[in-house]
Amino acid sequence: MELVCPAGNFPSLKAAVINGADAVYLGFKDETNARNFSGLNFNDTKLEKSLTYARDRNIKIYVAINTYPQPAAWHKWQAAIDRAADIGVNAVIVADIGVMDYAVNKYPDLNLHLSVQGSATNVDALNFYYKNFNIKRAVIPRVLALPQINRLAEKSPVDLEVFAFGSLCIMAEGRCHLSSYITGESPNMCGVCSPASAVAWKNTGDVLETRLNNVLIDRYEPDENAGYPTLCKGRFKVGDNVYHTLEEPTSLNTLSILPELHKIGVKALKIEGRQRSPAYVGQVVKVWREAIDAYTKSPELFSERTSWQLALNKVSEGSQTTLGAYSRPWQ
């Protein structure tokens, strides 16, 4: 299985490559990618440097052009496809069918991967994208249980890539407009669910408050680790209780089901985290490289190592991990 790793900047790309990535995914420095944060992504100079570094080590580069174009800025998505084709990336990760149509007609040899933002969760959807846009791979949304992915893999016309570790998402990706009710900017359109311009941090005594567009998202006591404010992971008052109403701050971790993912035919494992630090990228990639290699060497003897889980827990959101939707014993 291919290990696909995040590269929000050049130091993170290096960390991924050094620690065993088979491929890295990155974005250009604009809203055409779904991690459009200040300080992230690649301009021409950094991109050329990164391409050289990766190719010298036989590492694949995938470019995420996975947001939905806005009418007044359609030329930006066209330019992003042109740029990706010109520099010869291994694949482009795309969500919008208009962008796919432009790419497949102008650059028929450019490999297209369907982004998780495309929300393909059934065989008919995969067949549609394969027949019309010749996609080579699809990244599956984090809402399917393992038996559902198994059934999908049995009939899929393309390779499947799943999220193995990193931030969870309670929505079917590509359909989330939750934060736009507060910030006025949809993550699927503008590339970020909590734009920095809407984020505010304020100390009230010993308590740290986080807000989005002046809406209180959470309060942190001195002994709590403060997270970046996103609406779905805020704490809200429901009745007489205040708690993480929609989603707990926790990280997806599928290490325990690595053999099952391989057996059902998953071709690529994706590490989430282009917005995370190079130290995070390096640590997570190192563990997953060791785990995949251990399984490949002796599938029948594979088992999780305590050291792997301890290392992952140190970089997990809220120091907690979960199988998320992969495990639904009640179904």
According to the model, what pLDDT value does residue 331 have? 65
CATH number of 2-168+250-326: 3.20.20.70
According to the model, what pLDDT value does residue 316 have? 86
According to the model, what pLDDT value does residue 326 have? 81
According to the model, what pLDDT value does residue 330 have? 66
Spans in the chain with pLDDT lower than 50: none
According to the model, what pLDDT value does residue 36 have? 81
Residue pair 139/159 in contact (Cβ under 8 Å)? The answer is no
Gap between the Cα atoms of 300 and 103, Å rounded: 43
- The structural domains of the chain, with segments of one domain joined by +, span 2-168+250-326, 193-244
Give me the residues paired with residue 94 across strands: 65, 114
DSSP per position, 22-88? SEEEE-BSSTTSS---TT-SB-HHHHHHHHHHHHTTT-EEEEEE-SPPPGGGHHHHHHHHHHHHHHT
Side by side, the strands of the sheet bearing 207-212 are 199-204, 207-212, 215-220
According to the model, what pLDDT value does residue 189 have? 74
According to the model, what pLDDT value does residue 249 have? 79
187: nearest Cα among 129, 280, 115: 115
pTM of the model: 0.89
β-strand 241-244 against 235-238: which pairing, if any? antiparallel
Three-state SS string over 181-197 comes to HHHCCCHHHHCCCCCHH
DSSP per position, 238-295? ETTEEEESS--S-EEE-GGGHHHHHHTT--EEEE--TTS-HHHHHHHHHHHHHHHHHH
According to the model, what pLDDT value does residue 41 have? 92
Structure tokens at 225: 């680790």
